[in-house]
Amino acid sequence: MKSLAIIGSQWGDEGKGKITDLLSQKCDVVVRYQGGNNAGHTIIVGEKKIVLHLIPSGILHDHCVSVVGHGVVFDPEAFKVELENVIQNGIEVNSKKLKISGNASVITMYNKIIDAQRESKGPVKIGTTGKGIGPAYEDKISRKGIKLKDLLDKDVLVQKLKANLTEKEFLLKNLYQVEYPSVEEEAARLFELGQLISPYICDTFSFLDKSVKENKNILFEGAQGILLDIDYGSYPFVTSSSTSYGGIFTGAGMPSGKVDEVLGITKAYTTRVGEGPFPTELFSEVGEFIQQKGGEFGATTGRKRRCGWLDLPLLKYAVKCSSLTSIALTKVDVLSGMDELKVCKSYKYNGEEIDCAYPGIDLSKVEPVLTDLPPFEDDFKGELSDNLNSYIELIEKELGIPVSILAYGPERSEIKFRKDFF
């Protein structure tokens, strides 16, 4: 058996989808363990562009079982739309290929309404997608959440929705002054969706336990990135789940107690969607060039991604707090042919120079120390240029782990494996 975790090492959008898709070809099981449909993995298959939000990338392979763990917050309506889209693209989906934890928390209409109202009317803009992710996790932690298995019993569903709505009703009526569905309406909607989902609902923890005992190759597919982790990220501008390595054990379970390798997906530059500090952000034409050439627009929201140079202090932190064993450097082609190339190796902060963005540092007050590097002009059809090799070697030296994968385009073929994972 071999187990591998694929985790975003920055603020998400690093290109995890294609790499998960390729590595899942050699896996028996692909597991999603956190987040919700606020994430989007775009995979190019031939002339088809498939965007997955809730369903793991393993669904594209008939030999692979895709698992949605209990740490995911699950929007049944979004799942229905995604399922239809996947099937329309000629991909077979059945209960043997897709398994969803009955203990996954459900995103209700109340969660989505509150999320949208907070972002539009609240005093602090977090940059949320407005899909109800945060409020659903709040329900889970406050022990008032709806579980996916509750959708299969309408009486239980009504009872739990009534308890769930008690406090929310005051907010919806008095603070936000918006319309919202009655308990009966929401119960009817969710119960109907539950019938669609029921064939896929199972005890995923026991399924993973059995897979380990049978020596299956298991791939854990992370969503978002380490810097958006609720504990390790740039709080409060984070998501509401554990996006780091530790989220695997709380959100899915790994009965063996460890994962063999942890691959950090790392864009060759840095991007961020939404609000929050961004030390290397480029406000110049260079930043706009990277944004346009890299197609830096969110797969889930379509929002423009802010762009900047590669930030090594943040990556060093990501390596440490998520036990990364190697990185996959993606979108290297975007930097090819540029007139200038820079990388941030350290920060000036409170009169000192520091090379790792440890917790407690106010990223809005750091000054990035940028190093100029010779630009490269690779077309990736042959050997890598000396300048590109120098860029890769600098990253490896600073992070202390190897670059095991190089990706230079959206197609499945535009990737170079420098290590055999399975």
Residue 337 counted as an annotated binding residue: no
Residue 38 counted as an annotated binding residue: yes
Residue 317 counted as an annotated binding residue: no
Residue 281 counted as an annotated binding residue: no
Residue 173 counted as an annotated binding residue: no
Residue 418 counted as an annotated binding residue: no
Task: Give the distance, in angstroms, between the CA of residue 338 and the centroid of all CA atoms in the same chain.
Answer: 29
Residue 243 counted as an annotated binding residue: no
Tell me how far apart the alpha carbons of residues 265 and 243 are, in angstroms, rounded to a whole number.
13
Q: Distance of CA 179 to CAs 25, 120, 407, Å?
A: 46, 16, 47
Q: Among this protein's residues, is 140 annotated catalytic? A: yes
Residue 17 counted as an annotated binding residue: yes
Residue 42 counted as an annotated binding residue: yes
Query: How many residues are recorded in the chain?
Result: 422
CA nearest neighbour of 273 among 245, 241, 302: 302
- Token pair, residue 95, equals 């209960």
Write 109-113 long-range contacts (CB < 8 A, 24+): 109/180, 109/181, 109/186, 109/189, 110/135, 110/164, 110/165, 110/168, 110/172, 110/180, 110/186, 111/135, 111/136, 111/139, 112/75, 113/172, 113/176, 113/178, 113/180
Residue 40 counted as an annotated binding residue: yes
Residue 41 counted as an annotated binding residue: yes
Q: Which residue among 13, 28, 150, 311 is the active-site one?
A: 13
Phi, psi (degrees; rounded to nearest 5) at 109: -65, -30
Residue 304 counted as an annotated binding residue: yes
Q: Among this protein's residues, is 61 annotated catalytic? A: no
> In the block, which residue shows the tokens 């930097």?
335
Residue 379 counted as an annotated binding residue: no
Q: Which residue among 53, 70, 99, 140 is the active-site one?
A: 140
Q: Which residue among 41, 147, 160, 316 is the active-site one?
A: 41
- Token pair, residue 285, equals 């034409």
Q: Among this protein's residues, is 41 annotated catalytic? A: yes
* Residues 78, 37 contacting (CB under 8 angstroms): yes
Query: Which residues define the annotated binding site for IMP?
Result: 13-16, 38-41, 129, 143, 224, 239, 303
Q: Where in the sequence numbering do the catalytic residues fall?
A: 13, 41, 140
Residue list for the binding site for substrate = 299-305
Instruction: State the binding site for Mg(2+).
Output: 13, 40
Binding residues are 12-18, 38-42, 129, 143, 224, 239, 299-305, 331-333, 407-409
